[in-house]
Structure formats: C-alpha cells, structure tokens
Structure 1
Amino acid sequence: MKQPAFPNDKNEQSTANKISTFDTRVEFIKSSFGHAEDLLMTPIIYKEEKGVIFYLATLSDSEKIQNSILFPLIKYHSLDFGDIPYTVGVQSKLNLNDSINALLQGNSVVIIQGSEDIFSFNTVKDLSRSPKEPDSEKTVRGSHIGFVESLSTNLGFIRQSIESTHLKIIYHQAGQYTNTKIAIVYIDGIANPNLVRRVEERIQTLFTDMIFSPGYLEELVEDTPLSPFPHILYTERPDRTIAQLMEGRIALMSEGSSDVLILPVSFFSFFQTTDDYNSRIITGSFFRFLRVSSFLISLLLPCLYIAIIAFHFEIIPNEILVPVKNSVENIPFPPLIEAVIMAFTIELIREAGIRLPTPIGQTIGIVGGLIIGDAIVAAGLVSNIMVIVIALTAISSFTIASYEMSNTVRILTFPLMVSAASFGFVGIIFSLMFIVGHLCKLESLGTPYFTPIAPFNLQGMKDAIVRFPIWMLKDRPKELLVRNKKRLNQPRRWEKNEK
C-alpha cells in the first residue's frame, strides 16, 4: 500500500499542509496510518456541518472522548467550535503533520467541514501502574515508592520532592520510528554546565531507528561501551535519584521505562544504597564495607582456590591439609574444569530462577541447587570444597547493591580462573594489575571512574568504602566540578547554641 511521504520530504510536507478540503484531509489521515484497524473514526454533526473525530483505540481513552468532547459539543451546540469549554486540554490550528503526531501520542483529532483548523484533544489513556517499591532496590527504612513507566509521573515525583525553580528539565526525542521522549534532569546552580551540555550533545546526535529501553540509551551515550564495568547507574527509586541530583549529577529519564540513568558516576557509587544513609553511622559503614568486601571475595575466591590446589599446595595449614587432599585426589578433572562446571551450573540455575514465575523460580533455585550440588559431589565430578567455594562466590556476588556490577564480577571470575590455572598467584597478580589499570583509565562522562582512589582524593574517601557522618560530608564530589561545592555549611548549629 502506498504511504504518503510527509514524514521525510519537506516539499511534500508543505504540500500536505495546504490540503484544505474536508474529504481530502480525512483520506490523508487514514492513508497515513495505512488504514490501520486501531485508527477509529467517530462521525459528528455540528451546526449542520459534518465532522469526524480520529483517535487510536490503543492509545486514547474512549471514556474521555465521550465525556470531554462529545458531551460538550451537544451541550454548547450554539457556540463556535473553538469557543466551547472542553474538559480536556485542546489545541487548535494544527496542520496535517501535527495532527498525525498528536494521534501517535494518544490525542484525539477533530476535523470539521468548513473549518480550516484542526483541533487536538488530550485523551491519552492512562497505561501506568501504581508506584510500588522496586523489587531490585528494596529498603528497610525510608520511602517505598518507585518509578513507573510514565515519564510525566516520574518527573512529578521529583518535582514534589525538590520544590525549587533550580530543578531543570530538558526534553529531547530520539528514535526515527519510536520517537521516544527523553528528559534530561539536573539542578541548575549545582550541576556542572559543561557536563549538561555534553549530555545534550550526545542525545541530540543520536541517529537510530528506536530507543526501546534504557539499555539502548546507555550504550549510545556512555564513554566506553565495551568495558565490562558499568558507567551509568540504574535506579528505580525517586529518593535515590533526588540524592544523586543534589550531588550535582544528571538523570536521564525516558518514556515507557521505570529505570533512571544517573551519570557521571564512580566505581564506588554501585556499592551505595539508600539504607546506608537511613541507618546509624557504624551500621551503614559496616554494611557498605561488607558489600565492597563481597566484590573482592566473589572476584578472588575461586581463582585463589585454583592457584593453591594447582601450584601452591604448601601454603595450606597442616590442620586442614589432609581433608583438602582427600577431597580433591579422586576428582578426574583439574581444579579449573571443576570451577567452570560449578560456576556455569550456578549461572544456569540463577538464569532459570529469573525467567520462571516467582514461585517456581524460588523452588528451582533452592531444590535445584541442593540436588545438583549433592549429586555432583556424590558422582565424584567435583570436590565438596569446590562446591563451598563457588557457593560463597555466588552469595557474595548477590550482596552487591547494583545488578550491573554483580554481573560484571561474575563475568570477570572466568578469566581470573584461567590466569590462576595457568600461572598461579603470578597470573592472578597480573590480571588484577590489568583490571586496576583499566579502572584507572576509565571515565564516566569525562570524569575519573575510579575516584577517589585514582586520582586520590582524601575528602572523597569519606563516602566511598565506608560512610562518614552526614554532618562531616560538607563538600560535594570534587570530580564533578560542580558550581556549588558546599553541601552543608553549618551542620549541627544547635551544638553552638547549647554551649
């Protein structure tokens, strides 16, 4: 079926906008959608002139059309069409191209014979869900509200919490076919304007068929997409987004997604949670240190075990030497193959648990892990100590606050195991040197990724591996080059008054 060429050809656009007859305009809209079955037409008669209401049944609310357009037309039939007080937002004097875009956004379009104006009504169907707490970012204390798939609703959550004119929102659209609406959110007067400008330039220069999910947007705007380490922080929590905005960072939000992209971020941002700041100082610091330690455990424990069994058996204490030797001596595979078999099995169980419905997934995770672990040890394919090592590795990776960073550490485990099986401790040290060098080289939106370690910033260490008291965190992150460097000027002022 031949489609009108109005979307891309400017000459044909101007020709289409000059179409003035009623029947021709109606036929143009119908043919623009290829006579799609969800494009509905409702004929109307107004002042003895025929008209038609166009809307997409998949995007528009039929009840809104009845109550907000048809009933006012019947009640105020003596007024001019443009003077009728409608109960929804209305725009007039649209051209044909604007009317097509309005329909694609869920609005209704009205054409009246004898009138050159085309009217658009806000009758968008509410497709959003209730703002419940995200499953991947649950917290013990604090807010239990999460973002939804509606961009306007999510921006409303932020506006409600930051009642300031300094909160700036910049809209862009990306995707030739999806035309996805993207919002850049930042605090004017805090955020570095150069970083905001850089994000805008990256969004404006995107040329792709679609922006389907945050993963598409992340790959198109991040500095080093081939790095295993995430450069952008995902969150579904309004309170966490607001805290990052107040630090001077920038949030990217898109229509149809509950995930917010925070940038720029550092390596240690992925180990921070909302509970760190809702808990007492010692408690919050302890659990953050535990998460950082879990990263090291899940990264190093399998390769250390392989190196010890294969090359450095002599460092095992005499008290446990005999049990370890009895456990591994009858295993037909070398330690590397053992570890790969168990790690691959754990990943299979984990992936199956995610893809299956929740009750079944939990059963598969528990029963499958117990049965497979017991059977594989009984069959003599894997030692029981290797099962313990891989189980501790998996549990440690699950304690990392970020899902993306948790995936990264599980992927890095495999090359580290190969290095350990090939060269022992020497291979592990060289692999770690390569990883640390890579971290020092990385940037997130042009800012150092491994800060405050490289470059070293003593002030930044107050909120990295552990959390100092809030009243001691007076400065915003140095690497962001924010306009307002002070977070707190005179905290705990009451102490001076009581002395």
Structure 2
Amino acid sequence: MRRSKRKSIRNESYQIPTAIESHDAYYSLEENKEYIKSKFHNTEDIKFRNITVQDVKCLLAYLDPLVDEEKLQRTIMKPLFETNQLNIEDTVTSKEYRRSKNLNEAITGLTKGFVVLLINGQVHFYLLEAFSGNSRAISEPINEQVVRGSHEGFVENIMQNLQMLRRRIENPNLVIRFFKVGKTTDTKIAVIYLQNLVNPDLIAEVEKRVTAIQTDSIQTPGYVEEFIEDSPFSPFPQMLSTERPDRMTAHIIEGRIGLLMEGSPSTLIMPVTFFAFYQSPEDYNSRWYIGSILRLIRVASFIFALGLPSLYIATVSFHPEVLPAELILNIKSSLENVPFPPLLEALIMQIVLELLREAAIRLPGPIAQTIGIVGGLVIGTAIVEANLVSNMMIIVVALTAISSFAVPSYEMSMSIRLLGFPLMLLSATFGFIGLVFGLSIILIHLCGLETFGTPYFSPLAPFRFNELKDSIIRLPRWLLGRRPTDVRAQHGTQEWISRRWKQNEDE
C-alpha cells in the first residue's frame, strides 16, 4: 500500500493548500484506526465504535464534542442495523454524506463534525454528517436595539444566519459563496450578494482579497476586516459591522456585499460610506421627517463629540473674548481654585470616563449599572469639590460622552473619542487655529479615503445633490427610487412605483 511521505514542519509553507494531501486508506480497520489516532495525537475525545453490518465488520470514528449523539443514533446507527444489504448510499439518512479513499479527508471531516464509516476490506470510506447544531436562540442584539422594527439578531451559527437572510430575500439571484480562511482554524466565511445587482468588479475584488488572506487563525470578523480593508492605518472604520439581519438585507438590496463568519454574530457590509454609520434601521420604521431629525441629531453628535472639548479648551485658554461677559464671569469663578490648565482637566475627565465605560462593559449587568451611575455621580461630585476639575469641564465632558454614545456604530464611536485627544492638544497649543487645522486634516482624510473603490465621504465628496435625500436626511420612501451611485450597481433604479394608486387617481 502506497503511503505519503511525512512533510517536515520547517519546510511547510504558510500558503492555504489548494487540495488535501493524499493518503489512501488501508484495507485493515485497525491500521485505519491507528492512523487516525496518530493524527489526533491520541486525544481522548475521539471515539471509535466497532459494529457489524450484514456480517461485515465496520468502524465508526467521530469527535465526541462535535457530534449529536441523538442524530448519530437516528440517521446512522439505526438504519445500518436495520438494513438487509450493505449499501450505505441507500441506507443512512444523514443530511450530507461523501465517499472517499483519502484518509486525510477523513481527518478534516472529523474536525468539522462528520462521522467516518470505515468498512473492513474496502479502501473507500464514508463521511456522514452528524454535527451538533446547538446554538443560542435568536434574540435582539444588545448593541443595536430598535424601538420599532424587527427584533431578530444574528447568532453564532452561520447556517441559521443564512436562513434568516434567505427568508428576507426570497430571490434566486441571492448568491452565497463559501471560503475557508486560516491554516489552523479553517474558518468558514460566507460572502453574500445579489448576482443581478452587485457590480461584478466589486465581487471579484472582494473574493480576491478574501482568498489572499494568509494566516494561521481567524477568530472574529474583525480579523478579516483588518486583512481586506483599504487603509488599515485610518482611524475610521471602512466596513460596517452589524448583528441585525434587516440592516444587512437593506444594504444587500442596494448592491452591497455582506460577509458572515462561522462562530460570530457580527457581520460585515462593504463598501459603505461615512454616513452609513449614522443610519439606523429605525429611521425607516418611523415617519420620514422623524427619521430625518434623528439623523441630523446623530450627525450633530459627531461634531459635538469630536470638537466640543477642544472648542472649550481653545476658548478658555486663548479666546475668552468670544464669550458673553456674564458667561466669562461664571467660567472664571469655576476655574479660580483649579490648579490644572484646561487641557489637563479635559484629559483627566476623559480618562476617568473611559475607565468607567470599560469597567461597565467588563462587569456583569447589574453591577455595571451601579458602577456607571453611582461611580459617575460620586467621582464627578468629589472631583469638583476637591477643586481638581471645574463645573464647566464636567458639563463639557458629559455632553461629549452623550454625543459619542448617540452613534449607532460602536467602531465609529470609538474612533471619534480617540480623535478628540489630538484635537485637544492642538487647541491647547494654538487655540482656534489649531482646532481648525486639526479639523481640516480630518476632513481632507475623509475626502481622500476610499473603500473598495467607493468614495468614503460620498455624497459630499464627490458632491452628489440627488443622493443627499437618503444620507444626512431621509425623504419619503417612495422618493428613494434610485440606488446610491457609490456602489456602482448594475441597476441604478429600483423596479417599482409604490404610489401608483395616487397616479391613477390624478388621471
């Protein structure tokens, strides 16, 4: 029997293998068993069962944590014991089965939850699906709660997530491509798009970047994001992360591509623009003017969270003349006993705020609420009474924190808070000139940033007046007949008219 040569670890390439190394199975069940045990280094969670089917000895091998025992008995064991002939294809009722003679395929199948059925005297064996599909129930995402609308959220099971998308897009043009990434983890990734809508160049570019990933491990979609994004050193997120099926569905119908990963409820949407991070599914579940007001509030929160502390520092340190006399007196009285300059005040409060936020995230829910409320009140009151920080700085930092929390995207919220620190340094050094210079640098960066060939700051740069109706504001749904041009979809106009009844009445 031909046996493959053992490959030296030092000579192994880190490229993803295009095919599994071939090693033919043995005719002897014992030799096959020993080979499988050696490949798994005699791990104790691998199970072997000797059975006899029509006077023929067989061997079942599987990894106990990955296999559903009830499914194993119902779809494999029971049909085998009840059959009158050893015909595996017509006997077992597994959802998926495959015939092979490459033992290394059996090793790979075992790690994915398959059961390997080896037959004595035969070089071929069968891979039978009996994977344990235990996963948590569908619930509302904690980070993306919506008052009015769907309360379903993605879970860690990729097939269950794809089922939710299929239910929402009942269209044969919905295409799902599977990829395996990570040499050690062999993580399954699904790329989803509408074949008749998405730009073919975008499909090719996304698939090229995904298949070019070379790494040992992929644990979360954040790993994939870092490998395929255009500008890894930009402070702004270039792919939208969401746990909501309705949000992903809306973007796919606009001509974008979604990416799901096994073991994570977080998904990625690409390409997106800056304003997509300030949009919420709730905007479309409310009246159009309510959705527009909410979007304007979120965009204003971006300006407040980014520049309010810097504006206060520059005003107090260099330009108090821009304030009314009454307000200057109030600020001066609050700063009289504070030994630190405004910059140091702001840094102290921002650091304290970040510490409280991190503590609230890491602690259990009831304790986190206590830390957030009591800690904020106690520390805020004590730090003012100790004359370490002024009252006005407490108000400014509190407004900044509230503004950053109004952003629907966690990644964008973190980016804004981090960008506030260099702006505070510039304002404390050069006043309004430093603040304007810092904001200009950020604006130039936003205008020049691209993601998968799409301008990041569209529709403001390049300016497209017609697309403002569904970016900063939201007009009525029946006026949004054209898809965004930034995704370069195959069909720019949606094929429906929702107020045809009104047109018929006018006629």
TM-score computed with the length of structure 2 as normaliser: 0.95
Return the alpha-carbon distance in structure 1 between the equivalents of residues 305 and 298 of structure 2. 10
User: 1:94 Cα shift?
Assistant: 4.4
Residue 300 in structure 1 maps to residue 337 in structure 2: no
**What's 2:282 paired with?**
275
Residue 144 in structure 1 maps to residue 151 in structure 2: yes
| 8 Å CA contact retained: 1:169, 1:186 | yes
Residues 436 and 87 of structure 1: is their aligned pair in 2 closer, same or farther, counting only changes over 3 Å?
same
Secondary structure (helix, strand or coil) at the match of 1:467 reads coil
Residues 83 and 383 of structure 1: is their aligned pair in 2 closer, same or farther, counting only changes over 3 Å?
closer
Residues 28-80 of structure 1, C-alpha deviations (whole Å, 9 max, x = no match): 1111111111111112122333222111111111121122222212211x211
Return the alpha-carbon distance in structure 1 between the equivalents of residues 38 and 455 of structure 2. 52
Secondary structure (helix, strand or coil) at the match of 2:23 reads helix
One-letter amino acid matched to 2:329? V
Return the alpha-carbon distance in structure 2 between the equivalents of residues 4 and 107 of structure 1. 25
Aligned partner (choices 61, 65, 77) of residue 54 of structure 1? 61
Aligned partner (choices 358, 365, 368) of residue 365 of structure 2? 358
Residue 334 in structure 1 maps to residue 341 in structure 2: yes
**What's 1:458 paired with?**
465
Aligned partner (choices 95, 117, 126) of residue 110 of structure 1? 117
Residues 376-427 of structure 1, C-alpha deviations (whole Å, 9 max, x = no match): 0011100011011101100110001110110011001100100100000000
User: 1:14 Cα shift?
Assistant: 6.4
Aligned partner (choices 315, 322, 333) of residue 322 of structure 2? 315
**What's 1:211 paired with?**
218
Return the alpha-carbon distance in structure 2 between the equivalents of residues 93 and 225 of structure 1. 42
Aligned pairs for 1:56-205 (under 5 A) are 56-76=63-83, 78-82=84-88, 84-89=90-95, 90-205=97-212
User: 1:4 Cα shift?
Assistant: 5.8
Q: Return 5+ residue gaps in structure 2 as ranges.
A: none
One-letter amino acid matched to 2:44? E
Residue 324 in structure 1 maps to residue 328 in structure 2: no
Across the aligned residues of Structure 1 and Structure 2, the Cα RMSD in angstroms comes to 1.8
Residues 227-281 of structure 1, C-alpha deviations (whole Å, 9 max, x = no match): 0000000011111111000000000111111111000000000000000000001
Question: How many pairs align?
Answer: 495
Aligned pairs for 1:40-51 (under 5 A) are 40-51=47-58
User: 1:93 Cα shift?
Assistant: 3.3
Return the alpha-carbon distance in structure 2 between the equivalents of residues 318 and 358 of structure 1. 46
**What's 2:268 paired with?**
261
Aligned partner (choices 473, 480, 488) of residue 487 of structure 2? 480
Residues 462 and 13 of structure 1: is their aligned pair in 2 closer, same or farther, counting only changes over 3 Å?
closer
Aligned partner (choices 196, 220, 223) of residue 227 of structure 2? 220
| 8 Å CA contact retained: 1:72, 1:84 | no
**What's 1:448 paired with?**
455
User: 1:488 Cα shift?
Assistant: 4.8
Return the alpha-carbon distance in structure 1 between the equivalents of residues 461 and 127 of structure 2. 55
Residues 84-109 of structure 1, C-alpha deviations (whole Å, 9 max, x = no match): 53232332234212211111111111
One-letter amino acid matched to 2:259? L
Residue 379 in structure 1 maps to residue 383 in structure 2: no
Aligned partner (choices 226, 247, 250) of residue 254 of structure 2? 247
One-letter amino acid matched to 2:500? R
Secondary structure (helix, strand or coil) at the match of 2:460 reads coil
Residues 302-357 of structure 1, C-alpha deviations (whole Å, 9 max, x = no match): 00100111001111212222211100121100000000000000000000000101
| 8 Å CA contact retained: 2:182, 2:218 | yes
Return the alpha-carbon distance in structure 2 between the equivalents of residues 229 and 83 of structure 1. 53
Aligned partner (choices 370, 384, 396) of residue 389 of structure 1? 396
Aligned partner (choices 231, 240, 259) of residue 233 of structure 1? 240
Instruction: Using the aligned pairs only, state the percent identity.
Output: 46
Residues 14 and 132 of structure 1: is their aligned pair in 2 closer, same or farther, counting only changes over 3 Å?
closer
Residues 108 and 15 of structure 1: is their aligned pair in 2 closer, same or farther, counting only changes over 3 Å?
closer
Return the alpha-carbon distance in structure 1 between the equivalents of residues 144 and 293 of structure 2. 19
